[in-house]
Amino acid sequence: MIALLRHALAALRAAPGRALVVGLGLALSLGLPALVLLGVQDLAAAVRARAAAVPLVVGAPGGEADLVLGSLYYRGQPARELSLGSRVDLLDRPDVDVLPLVLGAAAQGRPVVGVDTGWFDLAGPALARGRRPGVLGEVVLGAALAAELGMGPGEELVSDPPERADFVGPTSVVLEVVGVLAETGGPDDGAVFTDLSTAWLLRGELHGHAEVQAEDALPEVDGEAGVTEASAAVFLFERLSPEARRAVHGHGDGDSLPVSALLLFPADQRAHDQVLAELLLDPERQVVRPVAVVDRVLGVVLAVREGVVGLMGLVGLGCLGLLGVVLRLDWRLRAEERALVATLGGPRWWVPAQLVLELLVVGAGATAAAWGLVALGRQVILGLLVGV
């Protein structure tokens, strides 16, 4: 038996290209369908678990998928937003916790998510290091992002300027990292979290500048007597000292500030059903159950998955057919070898057995490679959820 194995290995070494091609074909035929099956299954489970953690999401009327993807997975933001004042009636309900969310800001290309401090108790992961934000300019980092940037409490992070260019609008702001969240394997790991006011500051809804004095102003314009137009001498704050924080303000009523979504956490099923029924009748707001939206999206993904796996199965069958052709050709090519073994007095089963062993060795290698492909691929697919 050992001698047979040695012959089989020697034969494989003598024709490494053939072994590699056969092994690769087998590995891909086995691994790719398994990767698609398991990888999508993992992703679906993770996405669904995320959606199940937030019972209800309220947003401006519009695309449900955008609302859920933005508020739970920080992918983009809804096209329309609510105002902060839209939560007032919900705040009066002691049986529902309401957490506003502000999207649209970024730092180092990563989403900066403005949250009510209650988010850290109800929806967010625990803090691994440091504390939650308290004042303007303080942020906490997701675990994977902190590891990638090599940052922790006490470090500084510079925000990205907002998309709308305005030469007197907000520039980048220096943010202070005060905490790092525990790893979850989900989208929280790749984001930056701060309070609502800081998110508005980064988006430009709030800003800070020194008092506009006459000596810093441009000459008055005819017809605008008494209006002092600031010149570039009035600098917008980039670093938030206590004095700068005191000067940050918005224009207009605080309740008019925009929020991307409201996350609702009813105390029990009764409160859930009541608030859902009330909001379904509200023409100014839309309420969605993230699990239902995700199930609809995943239904499409899973159907596509079935199709892809089916196609891969056909490709796999084709590969097996090709393998059969290769084996048949190999058998024919070994006619001289078979004759030689017979001449030397070897048993008739020697060459077939050697061929089977060669196939088993290549098959074992292909299986190991397929297993590695699936394991690595599942990590990559789950990494898409984190976005890092």
Binding residues for other proteins, per CB under 8 A? 87, 91, 94, 97-98, 100, 116-118, 120-121, 131-136, 138, 166, 168-169, 176, 178, 195-197, 206, 209, 212, 217, 224, 226-230, 234, 242, 245-246, 248-249, 251, 254
Buried b (16+ CB within 10 A) or exposed e, 252-281: eeeeebbbbbbbbbbeeeebbeebbeebee
Between CA 319 and CA 325 the distance in angstroms is 10
Nearer to other proteins, 34 or 248 (CB): 248
CB of 241 to other proteins, least distance (A): 10
Question: What are phi and psi for residue 379, nearest 5 degrees?
Answer: -65, -45
Nearer to other proteins, 49 or 247 (CB): 247
What is the residue-wise DSSP string for 243-309?
HHHHHEEESS-GGGSEESEEEEEESSHHHHHHHHHHHHT-TT-EEE-HHHHHHHHHHHHHHHHHHHH
CB of 226 to other proteins, least distance (A): 6
CB of 186 to other proteins, least distance (A): 23
Between CA 63 and CA 350 the distance in angstroms is 68
Nearer to other proteins, 241 or 379 (CB): 241
Nearer to other proteins, 85 or 346 (CB): 85
CB 107 within 8 A of CB 203: no
CB of 278 to other proteins, least distance (A): 18
Nearer to other proteins, 163 or 224 (CB): 224
Nearer to other proteins, 50 or 87 (CB): 87
Half-sphere exposure of 47 (CA within 13 A, CB side): 29
CB of 249 to other proteins, least distance (A): 6
CB of 254 to other proteins, least distance (A): 7
Nearer to other proteins, 131 or 328 (CB): 131
CB of 252 to other proteins, least distance (A): 8
**Pair of tokens at residue 196:** 């609502």
**Any idea which residue has 């500030």 for tokens?**
257
CB 107 within 8 A of CB 190: no
Helix 350-386 and helix 16-52: axis angle, to 10°?
30
